[in-house]
Structure formats: structure tokens, C-alpha cells
Amino acid sequence: MMVNVVIAEDDKDVRLSLMNILSTDPDIRVVGEADNGLAAVALARALLPDLMLMDIKMPGIDGLEAAKRVKAIGNAEGRDIKILMLSTFYDDDYVLKSQEYGVDGYLLKGLAFNKLAGAIKNATSGFVTLDRTIYEKQNKIALEAAHKKNELEALTNTESKILKLVVGGKKNAEIAAELYLSEGTVRNYISSMLSKLECKNSRDLVVLGLRAGL
């Protein structure tokens, strides 16, 4: 089965390299290219490709936001447009967000041709594809998260409520108002949680909470 692919990559040389690599596979056809996030979304709407290779950092809107919009377009049109994110480096937040938006794989640039073509075919067959480096880090993070989830049981009832609100994006003043506490008390509770859960800052608490299913 022919797989129609759109490449969204702002670096022209990388974009051409990807096109040249994929042109050697008889089962893959590049039907469009975009150099920014908005153009990628427009192409997705116009072409409804089988799959998009999406650079995570692009001008206009980034690849994550573009992926979110492309998935919405596919859902509206009754098409499951697969998306493989491309990045030059591993980033916890980017991987987490890509999973939240329902993308079908996360790859690091520079992978061999057979791996790229294989990832595309795997994605269109319904498999989620992660670069091996990312897979190993995700596996390690999952194990650490399971350990941290157990540690969450050591939180007091109030700390648990505050953590859920922090994960939900609430600011200290909002948390204080909702739980009828002073902002200083909220800060003290957060400081206590940082110590108990061995987190450096509130951002780490959010990541931990999300991975623990809060």
C-alpha cells in the first residue's frame, strides 16, 4: 500500500534530505512539504495525507501545536492522519505533550533510512514508534514514576489536594482561595512536597503528577 507523506521541516537542507531518503522507497510517496507549522496544518487540510513527518520546532506555530491541529482535522474528516515528530534532541516535556496530543511516534533526527521508512510503515499500521534512545529514557522515567506514585501515598490529604491543583495549572493564589488557606501556607505545603518527593521545583511536581495519573 502506498503511503502518502507530508514533510514539515523548516530547515531546507534537512527537508530535502528527508525527501531524498524517502524517494528511494517504492511504498512511500512525498506529496507535500512545509517549512512552518501553519503551512503544515494547511497542507494537512488540503491533502489529508496518510502521515506527516513533523519537526518539533518551527516558526509560526511549533510542531506540537501543528500536530494537535492536524489530529483535529483528521478527526473531523474521518481520517486518522498519523504523525511522527522529529527532533534533534530528547526533551521530557516535548515527549509528554506529543503523547498527550496523540502523535504516533517521536524520532530523533539522523536515524538511518531503513529505520525512518520502517517507522513510517509501522505508524500507518497502527504502531507507536519511539527512537530507541527515547524508549529507554521513557522506560526509565516510567519506573521512576511508579516509584514516585508510591511516594505520593505519603502525602497528607491537603498536600494531595494541592498537588492535584498544581498539576491542573492553578497558581498559589487560586489554590489558597479554593482551599481556604493563606498563600504562605500553600507555599509551605508545596515546599514540603518538594522535599518529600525529591523534586527541584513546581514544574517537576507537575511532571510527576501527570505521570502518576493525577
Kindly report the backbone phi and psi dihedral angles of residue 118, in degrees, each rounded to the nearest multiple of 5, phi listed first: -65, -40
Per-residue pLDDT of the chain (214 residues; tens, 9 = 90+): 899 999 999 999 999 999 999 999 999 999 999 999 999 999 999 999 999 999 999 999 999 999 999 999 999 999 999 999 998 877 778 888 888 888 998 888 877 666 889 999 999 999 987 766 665 666 666 666 666 667 777 788 999 899 999 988 899 999 999 999 999 999 999 999 898 888 888 888 888 787 777 7
Catalogue the E-assigned strands of the chain. Answer: 3-8, 28-34, 51-55, 82-87, 105-108, 129-130
Q: Report how far residue 51's alpha carbon sits from residue 120's, in angstroms, rounded to the nearest whole number.
A: 7
The three-state secondary structure class of 153 is coil
**Residue 138, pLDDT score:** 66
Q: pTM score, two decimals?
A: 0.65
**Residue 56, pLDDT score:** 93
**Residue 133, pLDDT score:** 67
Candidates 206, 198, 132; CA nearest to 165 is: 206
C-alpha cell, 118: 520502517
Domains of the chain with CATH codes: 3-130 (3.40.50.2300), 137-211 (1.10.10.10)
Q: 62-67 — which CB contacts under 8 Å span 24+ positions?
A: 62/37, 63/8, 63/37, 64/94, 64/97, 64/98, 64/101, 65/37, 66/8, 66/37, 66/38, 66/40, 66/41, 67/98, 67/101, 67/103
